[in-house]
Structure 1
Amino acid sequence: MASSITSVTLQEGWRFKQGGRSSTALLLPANDVPTEIYRDLLLNGKIADPFQNMNELSVRWVADETWTYSHEFETPAAIRGENMNTMLVFEGLDTYASVYLNGELILEADNMFVAHRVDVTTLLQVDPSQKNALEIVFDSARQKGLELVKEHKEHRFIVHQTEISRGPVRKAQYHWGWDWGPLLITCGPWKPVRLETYTVRLADVTIEYELSDDLKIAKGKLHVRVEGWGSDQLLLGFTIGKTEYWDEVQDVLKDGVLTMDFELDVDLWWPRGYGSQSLYQTRVYLETTDGTPLDEKNITTGFRKVELIQEPDANGTSFYFRINNVDIFSGGSCWIPADSFLTQLTAEKYRDWMKLAAEGNQTMVRVWGGGIYEPDAFYAAADEFGVLIWQDFMFACANHPAHQSYLVSIETEARQNVRRLRDHPSVVIWAGNNEDYQIVERYGLEYRFEQDKDPQSWLKTDFPARYIYEYLLPKIVNEETKGVPYHPSSPFGNGTSTTLKVDPTVGDIHQWNVWHGTMEPYQKLPDLGGRFVSEFGMEAYPHTETLEQCITRADDRIPGSMAMDFRNKAIGHERRLVSYVAENFTLRYDLPGFAHLTQVMQADALGWAYQAWRRQWGAQGQRKCGGVLVWQLNDCWPTMSWAVVDYYLVPKPAYYVMRRAMEPVTVSVQRKFRPWTVRPADALWQRDTSHIDMRAIWKDVEFDVWVASNKREELHGEVIVKFISIRSGKELSAPLVKPVKIAPNGTSDVLQNHTFQLPHLEDDKTPFDLSKVDPFVISATLSIDGNEVASDTSWPDPIKYLTFPDRGVEVKYSDDGARAFVSARRPVKGFVFSEKQGVKLSDNGFDVLPGRMREVAVEGIEAEQLQWMYVGM
């Protein structure tokens, strides 16, 4: 059915200039809208590429200037019809924008996250020979922010990571720079601008439903809000799947809202790995009673039941998701905006990102509160691939204000975005902010959780944003969407644990005592978890090709150069990254070697965490850990950071370690970690080699083996554990063979606190001689019905105390160049193919053991063109 609405996107032919309307600066051609100022200055050769070298420093002036965008367009012929309404629609203006049409001010915008509809019916040129002049003046968000800080002296502005000007500005906070991204405060029409003409339109469509107890029937209501029509003769119809419903509206519309009931047999939408991603196309159409089409909307949605389970148990209070009555372990990652220049991103690229997450067995992605509410394409891809979305509201690391105009803007922002995203089955939680309660705790702001339950009184404290997070936003989520839980913050405990202290018994935690904080050894991560770990991470370099593209001088392509250090925005990275590498590996300081060691170190850290915390998933009623989200999945520019996939969608080895740890059925083996800085009091025989517990590494090795499964049926298998000499590649004893009954949707221990003992290597009177000991790896493989389904390897830590004589590595290739086969005569640690754009590997960043060939499928390059490296090479 055709619609009577005409919509013209004002995409081409835009121009821009420096200064406001009165500026005499030369108008320059702009990119097609959506666009932003840095891209347009680059287009015209006015600035150097901010992503290369240290050019970011040379473009910071751009953020302090006023910029004007202009466009001319013809008045659509449809406006001359009777009862026609014409709107200029701005889906997003970044950020402080004054909009003029034919010289008249029609809009003043101050929130990047808000869309605007302006009635211009009477303002357009009526003479067909005359064009309409549209001008948008963008003032500096940074300067406006500084002005607002001075204006609102009643508020204590506190921000982390950046300067204070971002605190009162409703704009993507990462534009001010972060500890992984550059300072590039953009402006411009960052979303489409269009001219829309209609008599009547479907302004809003909501599908509200409940599932039957057996989850087979969806019963609910379709709510439709109609704008622009005063007649009482309308027909409303909609189709869900193959079922069609019609209703004749006889009464004058009350507030323009129509409601229709429906009942439908449904196939459920499931997270990836738990079932199919059934999606339903819903068409809603509006006609006059004589059949004249007025408007039509199409919505894609899925039917699922979402619960956030927070119940008392032996470990405190649980925190995990239950989808369609099935407990879901939410292993995945945190998401930042995928570009500093958002208008460079396409729907295809968003789909590529979400596909990559899904192929990495990631069940959940958390949209971090310092970025943006992502475009529809992001969530559509999550729906398609079955990736659950944890959605933060856009507040991060600050004491945000709550004066009246700010609250009005926040309410509009929240309602618009909740409405836009509510039909996506992938969105399963809204969280109020990122780490703002840590600001409260660190600076001693007033927060009396139990004593003060009056929202109005919160506005009078030095933490007025509590009103936003604990009253306004949950109210909006409850009113605008049904069945999706709300969480005040990430992290957040129960009001008394909010949590800089990190309370592992309640709520979600951000675990930053590895890398930040006390800089614990990453081998301690298994003991540093909580009920849901929504942030933790470890830095690593990207593959060298990525660095070579953004650091153009060969002399700068060394670790520790000014260009390298400038690009890594993490505070203290010069000490932290080198410390973690040097603590665990024999340091190499050439770029390929150092990059490889950082990657293997990051992969090791994430392996310790994902395996151990998935083990704590336990069984129903004993869910000690409900999910793990690494900081972070992606980058916004080419750099070294905590990302497991770089800016160009090239995975680091950690991505593959996560994928293996999150396989539907997997086996894990981990040694018990004994801190190297602690000397056991009872180890009289131990030789003091600086600070290492020799017994734990070389002789009496205590370890665990377990199996994790997200299958809903019980499985039976066999685990084989081997002890292989690193020096010779030979097995040091007969393997252990253990039958295992694999519990459904849980973890099953195979060996607990098991000790493997070697003969005495020396007596207490003999000087310790490392050449006479025989360190070993522990290998565990899981087979089901005679087929190997998973394997894992545990190495003695730290790796740097090992020596690696010739490993006997051999890499062969299939005749068609589509596969590589890696084998070794002795155990190999951290075998990594160097990846690049356009290349896709089925596996990478793995260990190689004697007698176990690793097969890797290769796309985008001939397999024999791959370069590779391993520890000690």
Structure 2
Amino acid sequence: MGEWRDLHQDWVLNAVASGGTGGEPKIPAALASATVPASVPGCVHTDLLAAGLIPDPYLDRNEHELRWIGRTDWRYATTFDWQPGGTDRVDLVCDGLDTVARIELNGSPVATTQNMHRSYRFDVGQHLRPGANELVVTFTSAQAYAENLKDQLGDLPGPNSATPEPFNFIRKMACNFGWDWGPILVTAGIWKPIRLHSWQTARLAKVRPLVTVEGGVGKVRAVVEVDRADVNAPLTLTAEVAGVRGRVDVAPGETSATVALEVPDPRLWWPHGHGDQPLYDLDVALAAGDGTALDSWSHRIGFRHVRLDTTPDETGSAFTIVVNGVPIFARGANWIPDDCFPSRIGPERYRARLQQAKDAHIDLLRVWGGGIYEQEAFYDAANELGILVWQDFLFACAAYPEESPIAEEVEAEARENVARLMPHPSLVLWNGNNENIWGYFDWGWQARLDGRTWGKGYYLDVLARVVAETDPTRPYWPGSPYSGSFDIHPNADDHGCTHIWDAWNQKDYAVYRDYVPRFLAEFGWQGPPTWATLTRAVHDEPLASDSPGVLSHQKATDGNGKLARGLAPHFDEPTTVADWHWVTQLNQARALTYGIEHFRSHRGRCMGTVIWQLNDCWPVTSWAAVDGDARRKPLWYALRKVYDPRLVTVQPRDGGLDIIGINDGAEAWNAEVVVERRAFGGEVYAQWTAKLEVDPRDTTAVRIPADVATPVDAASEVLVVTAGDRRTTWYFAEDKDLAYPQPELDVEVVPNPSGTQVRVAARTFVRDLALFADRLDPAARVDDMLVTLLPGETHTFLIEGLTRQVTREEVAGAPVLRSAGDGQVPAAQAP
């Protein structure tokens, strides 16, 4: 067998030259000649931070003072001992270089690279020498490289005021160049493992398991490519899964072979909530003709069948992910890189974040095209947790050149990553790009392009062909949004997948009800991070919604203006930073709840909602449900409620109000529905009961009688709808126009072996009661939030992670305990 040797020790880092242009800052004098210990895998920013040579770029306005790092060339160097071992080949294997690299071994050039999203392998046997060896990797400024290539090929539309850098001219994580939720922190470094691989005779160059289920039989075709050091050697290839074993001989000179296996009655892999997630070990081995083991490959696979249903129908054409013959309503979220410095993200962090997704009933994550093809641990966690993965190819919000050297990189990158990721059963869809087809139609690109290439050839030809040739077991879709045809607007409501951004950018979340998309792949609403995250990252005195540090952590164009305009139809203008923080977080949760309930109520026509976004890469005001310090915002708790497989909602229909039961489960849902129209004071003005019967994966609508659904005083009444153990409410006016009573709460703090219990008994109606544990202790978290209580009801919150005892006085009021009525002027008292 071959021998692998990590080269992760004893690296040092030096600044080589500034790539600064114009008014860009140069290398600080203290660093110009410094030699810095370097971690591999890692990047320049994390090394400089670990050495105490730069401030944390996530704090205050430090990001702006560190732009020089991205405009500097950097040299990584290490020495290692090597002794000849009698093998045929010794390869230097670079799993990830970020991004424009020149590799030298003992002073001899080995190769140059220019793609963060690829791995590389180089035969270095002729450069190695017994004893000490020096390996040097020099990274050219990615910004300078992209600017130079833009000058050579000609500028293309795309980058805007929020993302001004030419990220579309380099195959690198685009959001490193800034986004409307991310800082400009242009990285460089050896961001994935780098190793020596000594081997002889032959090795497994690529293994592509084509896994399908046909007629109850699990079929695996292990398609293998072999790299040979001895072209004349006979080889044997074996594969085994679930006790089924196959073997083929690989004749001298041949470099590919396929082993076909059939597993009778395999247990099927399902997204969570639809079934279990059994995984099977697939083992592939390569041996010499005499039986000597040469190489092996192992991966866990899952048996399932997936297709994308785009059948034309009476309203347009469908966009439905079908798993094992079952149409799935995708309760999803978009995923961005979880850190600006991806080498800091390990398996434990991936698992924790995907567990947060599952705990919020999210069953699909869309890996967005401005980030990275994630590391194996991300997809491993998705396999185990039953989370479907929609994988974008890495193109976002810009026109991309189809000329050399980008074109060659794109195809090589796509072929490698499709092959790398295809063993994962969680991966169900390849998508060509994010918003680029939409940009071509609606963002004024056509006049600027004047016939030049912009990426269409990638999305309609190259990537489609790569998927068809490499991974024909999965569907491919050219873009998001995309209608399925250039003859139909890409963001058409009746076809394909759509994005809805006019609500946030121009209007109000009430316009969500103007749309019934076939599949909604992006929509969202902003809110600030949790208080503990905000105040860890920003130290403004005084802290305000528009203080310099807070604004530096708000990257959206006119973001705070949009937050304010989004509040205006619903809430009074907050007067303190604490009230601003609470009410904007609450409004974020309300906006997504409003939209998702509407879209889910149209299940059948609409078959997916993928919110923007699950996570953040740093502390920032953004659309995320989980902030940059991994704390859950109120939106997360709202998603857990609104993404429940069984949901009851009240929706306006045809001049009245309907109760709609939504059942995404595999079992029928039958419940008695009780509808009460109540005064906030507790009096029941009208009551009505009915049967709710919802078939599996279906919806049922029941009309509320007009006398029950019609208030006498819209400002002080609420509909309370209970369906078994599910409950929802309907209000007849916006919060700012409601006569909420001043909350009267009895609060008790009770130590508990599993945490601290806070029991809240309501003597008045209380809407969206929230307990902010991080206000008590940054390490604390709470189990529930946004709880509505009727007079006389009690709710117990559980706080975990407290590092000290807390008192009732600390918990009982703002800013720890908040509700929708906090800071609102009661309607009866409004001037």
- Normalised by the length of structure 1, the TM-score is 0.87
SS of the residue aligned with 2:685? coil
Residue number in structure 2 paired with 1:678: none
Residue number in structure 1 paired with 2:421: 421
In the TM superposition, residue 592 of structure 1 has moved relative to its aligned partner by: 2.4
Residue number in structure 1 paired with 2:148: 147
2:575 pairs with one of 578, 589, 592: 589
Residue number in structure 1 paired with 2:667: 713
Unmatched 5+ stretches in structure 2: 19-26, 823-831
Q: Using a 3 Å threshold, how does the CA distance of structure 1 residues 364 and 543 change in structure 2: closer, same or farther?
A: same
Q: Which amino acid aligns with 1:630?
A: I
Q: Using a 3 Å threshold, how does the CA distance of structure 1 residues 460 and 223 change in structure 2: closer, same or farther?
A: farther
Residue number in structure 2 paired with 1:204: 206
In the TM superposition, residue 537 of structure 1 has moved relative to its aligned partner by: 0.6
Q: Is the 8 A contact 1:437 1:499 kept in 2?
A: no
Q: Using a 3 Å threshold, how does the CA distance of structure 1 residues 713 and 754 change in structure 2: closer, same or farther?
A: farther
Q: Using a 3 Å threshold, how does the CA distance of structure 1 residues 84 and 739 change in structure 2: closer, same or farther?
A: same
In the TM superposition, residue 641 of structure 1 has moved relative to its aligned partner by: 0.7
1:525 pairs with one of 508, 512, 520: 512
Residue number in structure 1 paired with 2:531: 544
Aligned equivalents of 1:594, 1:445: Cα separation in 2: 38
* 1:806 paired to 2:729: no
Residue number in structure 1 paired with 2:480: 490
Aligned equivalents of 1:225, 1:758: Cα separation in 2: 70
Aligned equivalents of 1:803, 1:219: Cα separation in 2: 63
In the TM superposition, residue 754 of structure 1 has moved relative to its aligned partner by: 4.5
Aligned equivalents of 2:660, 2:707: Cα separation in 1: 15
In the TM superposition, residue 863 of structure 1 has moved relative to its aligned partner by: 8.2
Residue number in structure 2 paired with 1:42: 49
Residue number in structure 1 paired with 2:789: 848
* 1:834 paired to 2:831: no
In the TM superposition, residue 813 of structure 1 has moved relative to its aligned partner by: 4.4
Aligned equivalents of 2:64, 2:179: Cα separation in 1: 15
SS of the residue aligned with 2:568? helix
1:859 pairs with one of 787, 793, 800: 800
The residue correspondences of 1:349-748 to structure 2 (distance < 5 A) are 349-445=349-445, 461-496=451-486, 499=489, 502-516=491-505, 518-519=506-507, 521-555=508-542, 557-617=543-603, 623-670=604-651, 702-726=656-680, 728-733=681-686, 735-748=687-700
Q: Is the 8 A contact 1:7 1:195 kept in 2?
A: yes
Q: Using a 3 Å threshold, how does the CA distance of structure 1 residues 755 and 376 change in structure 2: closer, same or farther?
A: farther
In the TM superposition, residue 872 of structure 1 has moved relative to its aligned partner by: 2.6
The residue correspondences of 1:253-402 to structure 2 (distance < 5 A) are 253-402=253-402
SS of the residue aligned with 1:608? helix
The residue correspondences of 1:64-79 to structure 2 (distance < 5 A) are 64-75=71-82, 77=83, 79=84
Q: Using a 3 Å threshold, how does the CA distance of structure 1 residues 113 and 753 change in structure 2: closer, same or farther?
A: farther
Q: Using a 3 Å threshold, how does the CA distance of structure 1 residues 811 and 316 change in structure 2: closer, same or farther?
A: farther
Aligned equivalents of 1:115, 1:33: Cα separation in 2: 15
In the TM superposition, residue 418 of structure 1 has moved relative to its aligned partner by: 0.5
Residue number in structure 1 paired with 2:820: 871
Residue number in structure 2 paired with 1:793: 729
- Per-residue CA deviations over 1:223-266 (Å, capped at 9, x if unaligned) read 2222234454434333213x142526263251243434444431
Aligned equivalents of 1:323, 1:760: Cα separation in 2: 48
SS of the residue aligned with 1:611? helix
- Normalised by the length of structure 2, the TM-score is 0.91
Q: Is the 8 A contact 2:60 2:537 kept in 1?
A: yes
Residue number in structure 2 paired with 1:120: 124
Aligned equivalents of 1:253, 1:614: Cα separation in 2: 57
SS of the residue aligned with 1:195? strand
In the TM superposition, residue 827 of structure 1 has moved relative to its aligned partner by: 2.0
SS of the residue aligned with 2:358? helix
SS of the residue aligned with 1:829? strand
Q: Is the 8 A contact 2:660 2:700 kept in 1?
A: yes
2:61 pairs with one of 54, 59, 64: 54
Q: Is the 8 A contact 1:511 1:529 kept in 2?
A: no
In the TM superposition, residue 405 of structure 1 has moved relative to its aligned partner by: 2.3
In the TM superposition, residue 852 of structure 1 has moved relative to its aligned partner by: 3.7
In the TM superposition, residue 190 of structure 1 has moved relative to its aligned partner by: 1.1
Q: Using a 3 Å threshold, how does the CA distance of structure 1 residues 254 and 525 change in structure 2: closer, same or farther?
A: same
Q: Which amino acid aligns with 1:525?
A: Y
Pick which of 752-761 and 533-542 moved more: 752-761
RMSD (Å) for aligned C-alpha atoms = 2.4
SS of the residue aligned with 1:391? strand
In the TM superposition, residue 553 of structure 1 has moved relative to its aligned partner by: 3.5
Q: Percent identity between the aligned chains?
A: 30
Q: Which amino acid aligns with 1:812?
A: E
Q: Is the 8 A contact 1:710 1:746 kept in 2?
A: yes
In the TM superposition, residue 672 of structure 1 has moved relative to its aligned partner by: 7.1
- Per-residue CA deviations over 1:290-336 (Å, capped at 9, x if unaligned) read 44322221101111111111112232111111100111000111111
In the TM superposition, residue 714 of structure 1 has moved relative to its aligned partner by: 2.6
Q: Using a 3 Å threshold, how does the CA distance of structure 1 residues 144 and 614 change in structure 2: closer, same or farther?
A: same
Q: Which amino acid aligns with 1:558?
A: A
Q: Work out the number of aligned pairs and report it.
A: 794
- Per-residue CA deviations over 1:402-432 (Å, capped at 9, x if unaligned) read 1132111111100011011001111111111
Q: Is the 8 A contact 1:702 1:756 kept in 2?
A: no
Aligned equivalents of 1:810, 1:671: Cα separation in 2: 36
In the TM superposition, residue 360 of structure 1 has moved relative to its aligned partner by: 0.6
Q: Is the 8 A contact 1:301 1:424 kept in 2?
A: yes
Q: Is the 8 A contact 1:820 1:863 kept in 2?
A: no
SS of the residue aligned with 1:592? helix
Aligned equivalents of 1:829, 1:231: Cα separation in 2: 77
- Per-residue CA deviations over 1:796-846 (Å, capped at 9, x if unaligned) read 332012233332223334551454333312221221111446444332122
Q: Which amino acid aligns with 1:505?
A: D
In the TM superposition, residue 277 of structure 1 has moved relative to its aligned partner by: 0.6
Aligned equivalents of 1:248, 1:442: Cα separation in 2: 53
Q: Using a 3 Å threshold, how does the CA distance of structure 1 residues 103 and 409 change in structure 2: closer, same or farther?
A: same
Aligned equivalents of 2:711, 2:166: Cα separation in 1: 65
Q: Is the 8 A contact 1:729 1:825 kept in 2?
A: no
Pick which of 752-761 and 289-298 moved more: 752-761
Aligned equivalents of 1:222, 1:573: Cα separation in 2: 50
Q: Is the 8 A contact 1:704 1:753 kept in 2?
A: no
Q: Is the 8 A contact 1:222 1:262 kept in 2?
A: no
Residue number in structure 2 paired with 1:192: 193
Aligned equivalents of 2:248, 2:74: Cα separation in 1: 50
Q: Is the 8 A contact 2:438 2:482 kept in 1?
A: no
Aligned equivalents of 1:122, 1:156: Cα separation in 2: 43
Aligned equivalents of 1:601, 1:759: Cα separation in 2: 24
Q: Using a 3 Å threshold, how does the CA distance of structure 1 residues 8 and 863 change in structure 2: closer, same or farther?
A: farther
Q: Is the 8 A contact 1:650 1:835 kept in 2?
A: no
Aligned equivalents of 2:704, 2:486: Cα separation in 1: 35
Residue number in structure 2 paired with 1:238: 239
SS of the residue aligned with 2:599? helix
